[in-house]
Each structure stands twice: as C-alpha cells, then as structure tokens.
Chains A and B, each alone.
Chain A
C-alpha cells in the first residue's frame, strides 16, 4: 500500500483539546449534579466571581503592557527616569498615581516596563504603588471613611513609603537570577500593531493561568475558614494588625473596593484597618500567583513575604503617627 496507510494517526494538541471540551460538554449534567452541595456551589460562585472581577483589569493591564512595548521606546524611559536606579525608584513609585487600575493591571505593566529597559527596582516600586495610590483608590478610600479623612492620606503615604522601600531593598539585596524579566524579542512583528497585540495576547496567557490559581485558593479559603476567627483577635492591638493583614492576603479584594470592606471592619482599630489597605494591593494570593506567572516562582517566593512584612510594619508606624 501507499505511505498514507502506514502513517499512524497521531492526535495534534488542538484535536485533544477539542475532544476534551466535547467530553465535558457531554458530561455537563453529571458536572452540575456534582456541584449541588451548598459548599461546592458557594466555592464555585466565589471562584467565578474573583476571576470575572479580575479579568477586565487584567485585560486593561495587558493592553497597556502591549502599548508600552509597541509604541513607547526605551529611550523615552531613559529620558523621564533618573539615571541612578536609587533615584528612579521613588520617581517610579510616585508615577503609580498615573494608572487608575487595580493590582491585576499593574503586574503586566511592570513586566512591560522591565522589558523596555526600566530598572527592575523602579518597575517593582511602580508595581507595588500603582494599585494603592492611584486617584480612584484614594477617592474611594476617602468616601468609605467619611469620619476619618486622615485614612486616605495615611494610605497614600504608607503605600508609597512601603513601595519605595521595597524598590530600594531590591537594589540592595536583589539578585538578577531570581527575577525572570519578560522577554519581548520574539514578539516583535512586522508592524507596531502586530507587536502590540502579540504582547497583549502573550501577557494574558502567561498571567491568566496564575489568576485562576489565585482564584481557586481564595475561593477554598473563603468557604472553609470560619469567619469567627477574626473576632478572636479584634481586641488585641498587635494581633489585630497581623490578623487584618492576613485577611487582606486571603480575601483578594480589588484595591478599588477594599476601602469599603475595611470600613465595615469596625471592631478593629484604625491602624489595623490601614494595614489591611496597605497590604492588600501589594500582597494577596491572586497577586502573588500573577507575579509568579510573570516574573517566575523564584521571584514571587522571595518578594511577596518581604513585601508583606514591610507593608505591615510601615502601615503600623504611619497609623501610629497619623491616625
């Protein structure tokens, strides 16, 4: 016979993928039945909610990152940022004011900045500050605390200090091999527009899977951890700061809305709630997962815990001073 007959059929990845989707489609009834238990239903709802809530911000972030890569030349950043990284860190941190997004948007943008030659320390300061100090977040904090106008100011100051400290810490102690700077060379297309959409699609697929990891973890904790454990620490000043900082990591609330949640935690001191507002946009499960996806696990495993401690400490000091 001919060659065609002897050539064994081997499924391509796309065929396996479509077959898999078809199997799930056929098993839909069974799947829905599996999710009848209230705890599974609530978990699935929280998971979908976190992902759906984060997607517009992630898309905004990858679109901005694509625009930076395609249309902003590295020379531009050399011009606007101070030559010395130690000076570039506070400038980049303060530039966080410019992007009205939450933490999901800032990760791909910071990756885009690094790929365009911005020093990692400066890009990291921007990564941490922009979700916490942009105008939308500050205004919503102001509105959420009608009787404590200092809260918005304290949040701005504490977040900026913590972000700049982390940038400098990276300059002093960070090692290049921990950080995987997103590579863009292979994404350059024939036109700027092609570079733009290739970068956006690339960043979305790189970060999206990790967003799902964060969403699953947060959903499990949401339905498993009893809410009452928080009450136990509310009357101890130091423990309550740690307690609310941990809560911020677990809850994964968008920085544009977290002030309203903090306002409802009235059994806690203002300083503990400030810690919640400073830690949340810098370290939460979903964000750490996104960082791991964009900058590598080695990086996230070192950067996130240190950021947590720095953000919590700075918030305590600023709270003690201002609130």
Chain B
C-alpha cells in the first residue's frame, strides 16, 4: 500500500469514528462512556492522515524539483508504504459508512438464555424509586424478582421498555440486551409477559424485534434464586414505542 492511500484510510477511519459519534449510531456498538475516547482517537487519526498526506506531497515535489540533487542516502531513508494487510481497514470503513449495521436484537436474544446474575450477598435490594408507574430497566426488575422474592416490587406499577421475542412455550418475552463493554459481549434479560388472566400472554402479540413499553405489575412465577429463572410480569398495557436512543441497558 502506498503512503497516500494509507493517509486516506486513516482519514476515513477517523472520519467514521466522528460520524458515528455525531449522533447516536455508536450506541449500537459500544457504551456511552466510550464517546469522548472515540472522538479523540478519530481526531488523532485524521491529523495523522493529513500530516502524512502533506508529507507525501512535499517529498514528491522535492523529488520532482531536484531528482539529481537527492542523495542516495536520503532516498534510502524515505518512509515506505504500509503492508498489504492495511487494505483490510477498508472493511470497517465500508461497514460503517455504507451499512451502519443495526443494534443487536431478537437474533442474538433468541440464541442465548436469559441470565440474571446474583447481586452481592450483603446488598439488600434498595426500595424502588418513586413514580407510578416506576420506570425500571429489565435487568433490575429481573434481579428484584428472582433474587429478592419480588419483595420490593409488590403493589407497584412498573414500566419497562424492550423488544419482543417469542417464548418457546408460547407467548412472548419482553427482551433487552446488556453490554459490558461492546456488542460482542451482549447478555440478555427476558421477562415473560402475561395478561390479566395471569396465565397467557396478552393479545395481540407484538411483532418479533419490535419495541414496546409494558406497564404492569409483578407476578410470582418463573423460578427464584436461579441465574436462568425468567421473571414474569402481568401487563396492563402494551404500547408500541420507537427504538430508544440507547438500545442496550
């Protein structure tokens, strides 16, 4: 790879980082806390690319001006191009600019079982914050239902937002993915949505992967004190909503 192409690749990659952080696209891939680092490294890459491009032009002009005057030693010390593997950097550039892959959703969620990690043994679940209904992340709800016998959930209206996935035994799950670091390590929380009769899912069943807000109450069932237990919720209302700004918890 010649040095001028290397420069353009650095500028394009840096630009790609700036582009996904200029709106919320980066939240499909990484956590919000990485944003300043993405911007900083994007700017650095653009500066490196521009410096190298200017250098290429400068060298070319000097060679053009005095080909004869250029000593052999100088020519030998001129920086060479990048290895062929650097061409592969075109892949993320194309993927980001042209495809901008969507956030992970039902495909990933259906491959994994819901995992709710046990909270620290010493920590009691704190009381729910104020609000009627109180807005809760799915993993918080599941943790309270599964590891605290739902004590803090009794008698409260909760509001949770996630996407729908099909439950193997019939009905549907309210689903949300959680990132630790980036989308490569997504874990899934599923909550079985039941209707007024507490035994079957409310109709109509939302389309798989579509986002809904469920307002309802905690319902015992689905197992407790187990990582793979699936909490239940009795839905009063199920409202279609647009995809949230950050698709992950």
- Interface residues, chain A, with chain B CB atoms under 8 Å away: 13-14, 17, 24-25, 28, 31-32, 35, 38-39, 41-42, 44-53, 55-56, 58-60, 63, 146-147, 185-188, 194, 197-198, 200-202, 204-206, 208-210, 212-213, 215-216, 218-219, 222, 226-227, 251-254, 256-258, 260-261, 263-264, 266-267, 293
Contact = CB atoms under 8 A, between A and B. Distances in A.
Interface in B89-103: 89, 91-92, 94-96, 98-99, 101-103
B28 interface: yes
B91 A197 contact: no
Given A209-B87, A212-B92, A263 B117 contact: yes
Contacts of A208: 9, 13, 86, 88-89
Contact of A45 (B2, B28, B91, B180): B28
A254 B2 contact: no
* Interface size of B as a range: 35 or more
Contacts of A216: 91
B107 A50 contact: no
Given A41-B107, A205-B82, A206-B83, A56 B41 contact: yes
A38 B106 contact: yes
Given A14-B2, A49-B184, 9 more contacts: A13-B2, A45-B101, A46-B104, A49-B29, A55-B13, A201-B6, A213-B85, A219-B184, A261-B181
14 contacts: A17-B5, A45-B102, A45-B183, A46-B183, A53-B30, A55-B13, A58-B41, A63-B44, A198-B55, A212-B91, A218-B184, A251-B185, A261-B181, A264-B117
B30 A264 contact: no
Interface stretch (B72-80, B190-198, B217-225): B72-80
A321 to B, nearest CB: 24
Contacts of B8: 14, 17
Interface string B120-135: 1111000000000000
Contacts of A293: 83, 85
B227 interface: yes
Nearest to B94: A24
Given A38-B106, A56-B41, A186-B77, A51 B99 contact: no
Of A50, A52, A219, the most chain B CB neighbours within 10 A belong to: A52
